[in-house]
Amino acid sequence: MTKLAGLIASLLITTFGYTAYADDHTNKNQAPLPMAIFSTYEIPGGGSPSAIQAALTEYLKAEEAAGYDDCTMYQHQFGAQRGFYTSCVFKDLDHFAEIVDGGPQPVTAEDDTQLFGAHSDHIVSMTSHGMTERPKHILFATTTFSPTMTYSEMVKSADLYYGVYEEVFARCNRYEHAWGPEMAFYITCGFDNYAAFSKSVKKLMPLFQEKLYDAALGIRTHSDDLLIKVMD
């Protein structure tokens, strides 16, 4: 196993745990929505994007072979972190445990070199599913709320805020923090090209003014990243 794969596996094994609770705004009669691992890999100064992409592609194919339902990778186009964004889907924490516990233990060769810079993993729970296929481009938004708010208040604010995204872009999935470095809410919305993105934004701005300008949402931080698919 390469150092890249070994390091990622080690991070996942040692960093995360999760106790699943029923989602408050999911119909209990519906089949439960899956979970996912969101990971980011920064392209360091002087680093080779193509080498990182090739190594991650190899790693993600191995993860699918190990039992994840689906893995994909997008690359930064516009936004905060210049890097690669990956996602692997699994049914629940029992499924996750089968994959991680049943796979080979990470081994690091002395001559291996880490290709990427900063790295993070987030285990998330999907709360709504409107994206039926992987689009060429996605808007990936991350929002955190005031620490003085209750979790219920955060959920209500996320519903109101991201509801505007869903109304305009239509093809959106929403996620909530399960385990990882931030208590955040996420939405991914697909678009085919930047002409389509421009049309959606023209519809989005009036809705923001109408529904959100005077709303006390309690948003602490927010980022919008525009990404392009590099592995299906």
Query: What CATH number has the domain bearing residue 142?
Result: 3.30.70.100
How many structural domains does the chain have? 1
Over the chain, what is the mean pLDDT?
85
Beta-carbon-side half-sphere exposure of residue 83 (alpha carbons within 13 Å)? 18
* Alpha helices per DSSP H over 117-193: 151-169
Q: Which of 231, 141, 145, 222 is nearest to 188 (CA)?
A: 141
Domain that holds residue 167: 3-231
- Residues of the chain with pLDDT > 90, as a percent, come to 73
Average pLDDT of the segment spanning 203-224: 94
125, 35 contact by CB (below 8 A) = yes
Q: CA-to-CA distance for 147 and 191, rounded, in angstroms?
A: 33
Q: What is the pLDDT of residue 8?
A: 40
Which residue has 């080779």 as its token pair?
Answer: 48
Q: How confident is the model at residue 46 (pLDDT cuts 50, 70, 90)?
A: confident
φ, ψ of residue 48 to 5 degrees: the values are -105, 110
Q: How confident is the model at residue 112 (pLDDT cuts 50, 70, 90)?
A: confident
**Better-predicted residue by pLDDT, 90 or 132:** 90
SS3 9: helix
Estimate the crossing angle of helix 49-66 against helix 93-102, to 10 degrees: 100
Per-residue pLDDT reduced to its tens digit, 116-133 = 888 999 999 999 999 988
- The model carries a pTM of 0.81
Q: How confident is the model at residue 160 (pLDDT cuts 50, 70, 90)?
A: very high
